[in-house]
Amino acid sequence: MKRRSLRSTTITPVTALFLAGVLTACAISPEPEADPALFSLSADAHADAAELSGSDPRGAEVRERHAEALDAEIRRLCGVLEDGTVPDSCTVPTATGATVPTGTGSADVLPESAEQIAREAASAPRESVLKLARMHGELAVLTGTTPEPESSTVGDLVGEAEFEPDPADLEAALKALEWQYSAIYGLEVAQSWADTEVAASIGRSVEGHRELATQLRELLSGIPESRLPLPAAGYGMPEDRAPADAGSALATAVRIETDSVLMWQADAATAEQPAWRVWCILAGSTAALRSVPVLAAAGTDPAAEGLFDLG
């Protein structure tokens, strides 16, 4: 009988442990599943699209687009197999055939959906938050309403009574407060050059920024006053962007209002803590809704300015 070589058949203890570890890992490694927050929001978007399809085509189109973006985000986070397909375990909601009586519109359905977006955003993957912030802003403009970013509202949504920021969130909040003051200054300069009707719209924007600054200072009430920025006597403005007539005044106001929305959306996407993340989402949607009259005066709107892009 031919004797087998021990060298070719014997497995060392270290090798045996390594193989056992690999086999065990393969056996117990969980299959990727849809993120629960995104799955819930996708299901809600699909339901909204179905409910509004017979009575509010615009609202249905917006929510169908949201559902498609959420489904794509779920699949992206799950990853793909070697053959390029998404794992079967990573399911997405299916469209529902439910409808509601004619006459039901976005205002009847979407405020609750916006609240769910803000609530689920607190636990959603950080890399998905920018899309959620933009969806929330689009619903605010579509329905003409959104909750103000007040501490009590945010606390109800995320279940946290107080804002206790980490260093990164605190730095972002302080910069956001300083931005409000600079925006107020820039808008007031633009207002002084604007036509009467546009000046009135800009004036309402100024008041909105002042309210937001007050709410932000309230959020930061636990921070020593010495750390909070105060309005400066003036702020620099590039010479080629400084208002010099009614047209350039309107352009300045449009730029400030769109930059404000984009800033809040970006802050939401980089927020470390749920309370600050949701606060930024509500602030961004408030800013988007406030921007509508000024943008309309310039013949544009938040969607055309890319404030709701989901790509």
* Residue 104: per-residue pLDDT: 74
pLDDT band at 6 (very low <50, low <70, confident <90, very high): very low
Pair (186, 263) in one structural domain:
yes
* Residue 100: per-residue pLDDT: 55
* Residue 21: per-residue pLDDT: 42
Instruction: Report yes or no on 12 lying in a domain.
Output: no
* Residue 96: per-residue pLDDT: 62
pLDDT band at 287 (very low <50, low <70, confident <90, very high): very high
Pair (187, 293) in one structural domain:
yes
Pair (166, 137) in one structural domain:
no
Cα-based torsion angle of the residue sequence 168, 169, 175, 180 in order, rounded to the nearest 10 degrees: 170
pLDDT band at 75 (very low <50, low <70, confident <90, very high): very high
Quick one: average pLDDT of 251-256?
A: 97
- pLDDT more than 90, % of the chain: 68
Q: Which of 124, 143, 162 is the last residue of a domain?
A: 143
Instruction: Report yes or no on 4 lying in a domain.
Output: no
Question: What's the pLDDT tens digit per position in 158-207?
Answer: 876 577 889 999 999 999 999 999 999 999 999 999 999 999 999 999 99
Count: domains in the chain? 2
**CATH code at 173?**
1.20.1260.10
Pair (157, 135) in one structural domain:
no
Instruction: Report yes or no on 27 lying in a domain.
Output: no
Instruction: Report yes or no on 24 lying in a domain.
Output: no
Amino acid letter, residue 242 = A
Residue 219: domain span: 151-297
Q: Which of 127, 143, 159 is the last residue of a domain?
A: 143
Question: What's the pLDDT tens digit per position in 84-133?
Answer: 788 888 888 876 655 555 667 888 999 999 999 999 999 999 999 999 99
Question: What's the pLDDT tens digit per position in 215-246?
Answer: 999 999 889 988 999 998 888 877 777 899 99
Instruction: Report yes or no on 5 lying in a domain.
Output: no
Quick one: average pLDDT of 252-261?
A: 98
* Residue 161: per-residue pLDDT: 59
In whole angstroms, what is the distance from residue 23 CA to residue 299 CA?
Answer: 63
Minimal CA–CA distance to 307: which of 271, 275, 260? 260
Instruction: Report yes or no on 8 lying in a domain.
Output: no
Pair (85, 157) in one structural domain:
no
Q: Which of 143, 165, 198 is the last residue of a domain?
A: 143
Q: Does pLDDT of 147 surpass 70?
A: yes
Pair (124, 216) in one structural domain:
no
Pair (160, 293) in one structural domain:
yes
Instruction: Report yes or no on 229 lying in a domain.
Output: yes
Pair (116, 167) in one structural domain:
no
Pair (270, 160) in one structural domain:
yes
Pair (221, 100) in one structural domain:
no
Pair (106, 171) in one structural domain:
no
Instruction: Report yes or no on 284 lying in a domain.
Output: yes
* Residue 4: per-residue pLDDT: 36
Pair (292, 175) in one structural domain:
yes
Note every long-range contact of 219-224, with CB atoms under 8 Å and residues 24 or more positions apart, other chains counting: 219/149, 219/151, 219/163, 219/173, 219/279, 220/163, 220/170, 220/173, 220/174, 220/177, 222/162, 222/163, 222/164, 223/170
Show the tokens assigned to 288: 């988007």
CA 132 to chain centre: 4
As a whole number, the mean pLDDT across the chain is 87
